[in-house]
Structure 1
Amino acid sequence: MTPAIKCLILLAVVALLFVTEMIPLAMTAVLAAIACSALGLVPENQIFLGLADSTVVLFGGMFVVGAAMFYTGLAQKVGGAVVKLFGTNENSLMFGLMIIAAVMSAFLSNTGTTACLIPVVMGICAQAKLSASRQLMPLAFAAGLGGTCTLIGTPPNILANVALKAAGMPELQFGFFEYAYIGIPITIAGIVYMMFLGKYILPEAKTEEVADVEQEIDATNTTPKKQMICGIIMVGVIGSMATSIVPLELAAVVGAVLCVLTGCITE
């Protein structure tokens, strides 16, 4: 059996395990790497070589900074305030929800953004007797679209940079906001579509009472001081990345360290 056939079979098995989640996803990923070595597809000394890439450090740092915003309650506070600002009318709530979800997910975790806004949306929908499902689906779409606007908004964006660097073309790598030239129009188009067409095919499901929705991250340190410090750190990290004052991964790691040192998130 040729290495190409072995690789295709392994890929099919891994895809099946990812889709069915018969075993934890992390275990599937690790076992896939080990299988590559066992089948002779990748040299042993290169199996986990990707973990030493600066991209991994970048994502690690941003995960910490983003988590700090959720732990301090800053993300929830911003999201809740903006959503409530648009009132309880279904159309205005949907519009405001999609706007804030898109903006937040451009710099934070798409999943975290969605998770912190879900309880707010469920509560508002219950009180206003609106269909929660008609708000949650637009929220999910907007969070996905917003991630296309920046280099760190979603993993595939920065992985494209990694591919260019690996191919020996670092001069063609994308800037922090370069994705926005396409990402912002796509996001706007998605919001416009949902407001004028998509909303008519959204499912109906009334919420009679405030649902107790578990968040991905619970706010544990919600003092105004911590929220202000965390906000300053996030702005500094994004500003450093946008202006290329320091390398992206360095800015992310420094931001993560500052979040820990200032008590915005525990080690």
Structure 2
Amino acid sequence: MAQSTKCLILLAVIALFFVTEIIPLAVTAMAGSIACGLLGFIPAKQVFSGLSNSTVVLFAGMFVVGAAMFYTGLAQKIGETVVRFTGTGENSLMVGVMLVGAGLSSVLSNTGTAACLLPVVLGVCAAAKIPASTELMPLAFACGVGGIITLVGTPPNIIASGALEQAGYRAFGFFEFAKIGIPLTLAALIYMMFIGKHLLPKRTISEDTEVEQEIEANETSSTKMAVSGIILLAVVLTMALGIKGVTLEMAAITGAIVSVLTGCLTEKQAYASIDWVTIFLFAGMMPVSSAMSKTGAGKVIAEWAVGLMGGTPSPMIVTAVLFILSCGLTQFMSNTASAALLCPIGIAISKQLGADPAAVLMAIAVAASCAFATPVGTPPNTLVLGPGGFKFMDYVKAGTGLVIVCFVISLILIPMFWPFFPGK
């Protein structure tokens, strides 16, 4: 049996475990990496090479910097301030909740943002006698789509950028995702205001509803809030300006160190804030990506996909097919896993066509964040499930339309900003 065939079988097994989550995602990814070494797809010394990848360091640093805002209470304070300005009307509150959710998620963990704003929204809804269900799902959706705006907003963005760089192409810039992320965020806001809210159930939550918060009680003070905000701003500006000699991971880790030294969070809290599932999932899939390239499995998939698309598919067809595939997978499996699985395939297809893979990988990354149609597609969706009293079909009804809106906008904008055949 050819090595490419063996690798394809392994990839199918990995995909099956990702979708079903019979075993933890991180375990699947690392086991897949080990299998690549045992089967001779990659040298044994490369099996754990993903753990030394600079992107892993970037992940860890930003997890800590983001957590500092939650532990000091700054993120919650921002949420409360926005609610004060928007008032307690159902529509105005939705606008405020979605804007702050998307804004914070663009540079912080979308899960942490949702967890932080959840009790704020519940409290306001209970006091104003507004059905919490009409505000919580918009919050979850905003946290999901807001992450698209910057490079560090959500793991798929970093994975796509890293895959480009690893393949020898120019990586995406820090704010380059904003070209598609901001329009999608505004579209999500408009959709929920005029269509989505009518598809949501109206379930009122009583005032004594208790929400379990993941934020531990620090000696919170206005000084620490200010410090955590300044640290985040400094890190983001450093990354955005592209200062010579200062890499993204250096900026992130420096910010994490300063967060601990200034007491914004303890060393123990810093370690606890790192999402190790994301770290090991990414690190495990890097060697698998290399194996796909070295064995020719990626090329086989690319040739098959191109054949299905007519042999010489247009940029629109390629972008549409991979968007649908990535979006479909992300409704039931980790968006990080979806992106890690499809980015190498996207690059292989692009090479097969002699095209720039930027548009394809952008479509994959964006689609991986459009997990609106199920409660298990992304953590923010799961977080609001119980407090909002939602059922599975509530997500299908309200989220499917938003997925379609994002799909249409992406098909229009992605080829414009990232030409499939630049210069032609």
Give the TM-score of the pair, scaled to structure 2: 0.59
The sequence identity of aligned pairs, in percent, is 60
Per-residue CA deviations over 1:212-239 (Å, capped at 9, x if unaligned) read: 2222333423111111111111111111
- How far the C-alpha of 1:118 sits from its partner, in A, is 0.7
Give 1:158's aligned residue. Answer: 158
Match of 1:183 among 181, 184, 206: 181
Give 1:93's aligned residue. Answer: 93
Paired residues of 1:37 and 1:47 also in contact (CA < 8 A): yes
Report the count of equivalent residues: 265
- How far the C-alpha of 1:27 sits from its partner, in A, is 2.4
Per-residue CA deviations over 1:179-227 (Å, capped at 9, x if unaligned) read: 1122111111111111111111112222123322222333423111111
Give 2:199's aligned residue. Answer: 201
Per-residue CA deviations over 1:116-170 (Å, capped at 9, x if unaligned) read: 111111121222222222211111111111111111111222222212222222x
Summarize the Cα distance change of 1:200–1:253 in structure 2 as closer, same or farther, 3 Å threshold: same
Paired residues of 1:83 and 1:100 also in contact (CA < 8 A): no
Q: How far apart, in 2, do the equivalents of 1:225 and 1:57 lie?
A: 28
What SS does the aligned partner of 2:186 have?
Answer: helix
Summarize the Cα distance change of 1:48–1:224 in structure 2 as closer, same or farther, 3 Å threshold: same
What SS does the aligned partner of 1:210 have?
Answer: coil
Q: How far apart, in 2, do the equivalents of 1:5 and 1:215 lie?
A: 47
What SS does the aligned partner of 1:220 have?
Answer: coil
Q: How far apart, in 2, do the equivalents of 1:77 and 1:213 lie?
A: 17
**Counterpart of 1:47 in structure 2: which amino acid?**
V
Per-residue CA deviations over 1:41-88 (Å, capped at 9, x if unaligned) read: 332111121221111111111111001111111111112221243222
| Larger displacement relative to structure 2 (160-169 or 150-159) | 160-169
Q: How far apart, in 2, do the equivalents of 1:51 and 1:32 lie?
A: 14
Task: Give yes or no for the alignment of 1:138 onto 2:138.
Answer: yes
**Counterpart of 1:184 in structure 2: which amino acid?**
I
Q: How far apart, in 2, do the equivalents of 1:99 and 1:184 lie?
A: 11
Give 1:211's aligned residue. Answer: 209
- How far the C-alpha of 1:255 sits from its partner, in A, is 0.5
Summarize the Cα distance change of 1:6–1:93 in structure 2 as closer, same or farther, 3 Å threshold: same
Paired residues of 1:145 and 1:187 also in contact (CA < 8 A): yes
Paired residues of 1:226 and 1:263 also in contact (CA < 8 A): yes
Give 2:221's aligned residue. Answer: 223
Q: How does 1:224-243 map to 2 (within 5 A)?
A: 224-243=222-241
**Counterpart of 1:226 in structure 2: which amino acid?**
K
- How far the C-alpha of 1:23 sits from its partner, in A, is 2.9
Q: How does 1:33-182 map to 2 (within 5 A)?
A: 33-169=33-169, 172-182=170-180
Give 2:349's aligned residue. Answer: none
- Mark the runs of 5 or more structure 2 residues left unpaired by the alignment: 268-424
Give 2:325's aligned residue. Answer: none
Paired residues of 1:71 and 1:264 also in contact (CA < 8 A): yes
What SS does the aligned partner of 1:209 have?
Answer: coil
Paired residues of 1:106 and 1:147 also in contact (CA < 8 A): yes
What SS does the aligned partner of 1:174 have?
Answer: coil
Summarize the Cα distance change of 1:178–1:8 in structure 2 as closer, same or farther, 3 Å threshold: same
Paired residues of 1:131 and 1:207 also in contact (CA < 8 A): yes
Superposed structure 1 runs of 4+ greater than 4 Å apart: none
Q: How far apart, in 1, do the equivalents of 2:256 and 2:95 lie?
A: 32
Q: How far apart, in 2, do the equivalents of 1:48 and 1:247 lie?
A: 22
Q: How far apart, in 2, do the equivalents of 1:159 and 1:18 lie?
A: 17
**Counterpart of 1:17 in structure 2: which amino acid?**
F
| Larger displacement relative to structure 2 (36-45 or 76-85) | 36-45
What SS does the aligned partner of 1:208 have?
Answer: coil
**Counterpart of 1:53 in structure 2: which amino acid?**
N
What SS does the aligned partner of 1:235 have?
Answer: helix
Summarize the Cα distance change of 1:57–1:194 in structure 2 as closer, same or farther, 3 Å threshold: same
**Counterpart of 2:14 in structure 1: which amino acid?**
V
Give 1:32's aligned residue. Answer: 32
| Larger displacement relative to structure 2 (141-150 or 37-46) | 37-46
